[in-house]
Amino acid sequence: MAAHSRAACISFSIFLVALTVRAATGGEPSIEIVDWGLTSAREVGSEISPDTPTGLNRLVEGPVNVIRATSIRACIGTSFGVIYRTDDDSGVLPIMVVVQHPLIKTPDGRSMQKSSWHDSAIPQRRYAGWVFERDFELVSGSWIISLRDASGKEMASKRFNVVAGSCPIS
C-alpha cells in the first residue's frame, strides 16, 4: 500500500499562479531526495487511491525515521521510501508520486507494474513510500519511487532492490 505525508488540498489555480511566478523569475522548481531507505512513521489515516494495488493510500505524519538502504527485504509490515523537499519557497508544489514495481496481481484481477498518487512538495522534508501489507504485494525486483511534476516530467527518483521471502515470523 502506498504511503505519503498528509497534505493540504491545493487548487489547480494556485499551482498555475506558482508556475507563473516561477516563469517570470526565470527558474523552474526542483525536488531533492534528501534521504531514503527503510522507514517508520505514525499512520494518521488513509484515503482512497485507485491507482494502487490495495486501493488505499496510508497517510502518515512525521517525523519519519529512516535507516538508509537501497536493498529491501519485502515482508509484511516493512516500509521503505524517500524523504524529499523542493527549493520552491513560494509554497506548495503539486506533484505525482509514481512507484514502478514488478508485476503485482491483485485479488480483484488487476495486473499492475506502476502505482501512483497525488502529493505535494514543500521546502520542508516530506515522505513518500511503500508499506507491504498484503501477500500479493511481496514481489522481488527493481522498485523505483519517482517524483513528477504536473506534466509528468520526472524531477527526482530513487531505485530500490526488493527481495521477497526469508521473513521472520512475527
For the stretch 140-166, pLDDT in tens is 999 999 999 989 999 999 999 999 987
Percentage of the chain beyond pLDDT 90 is 58
Q: What is the per-residue pLDDT across 62-72, written as a single tens digit (0 to 9) for each?
A: 668 899 999 99
Q: What is the per-residue pLDDT across 75-126, written as a single tens digit (0 to 9) for each?
A: 998 999 999 999 988 888 999 999 999 999 999 999 999 999 999 999 999 9
Q: φ and ψ at 23, to 5 degrees?
A: -65, -40
Residue 125 included in any domain: yes
Q: Specify the pLDDT at position 86.
A: 93
Q: What is the pTM of this model?
A: 0.79
Domain count across the chain: 1
Q: Specify the pLDDT at position 8.
A: 32
**152: domain range?**
2-164
Mean of per-residue pLDDT scores for the chain: 83
Residue 103 included in any domain: yes
Domain harbouring 73, CATH code: 2.60.40.2390
The C-alpha angle 31, 35, 38, rounded to 5 degrees, equals: 130
Distance CA 69, CA 83 (A): 13
Residue 170 included in any domain: no
Residue 39 included in any domain: yes
Q: Band of the pLDDT at 46, cuts 50, 70, 90?
A: confident
Residue 57 included in any domain: yes
Residue 66 included in any domain: yes
Residue 169 included in any domain: no
Whether the CB-CB separation of 143 and 120 falls below 8 Å is answered with no
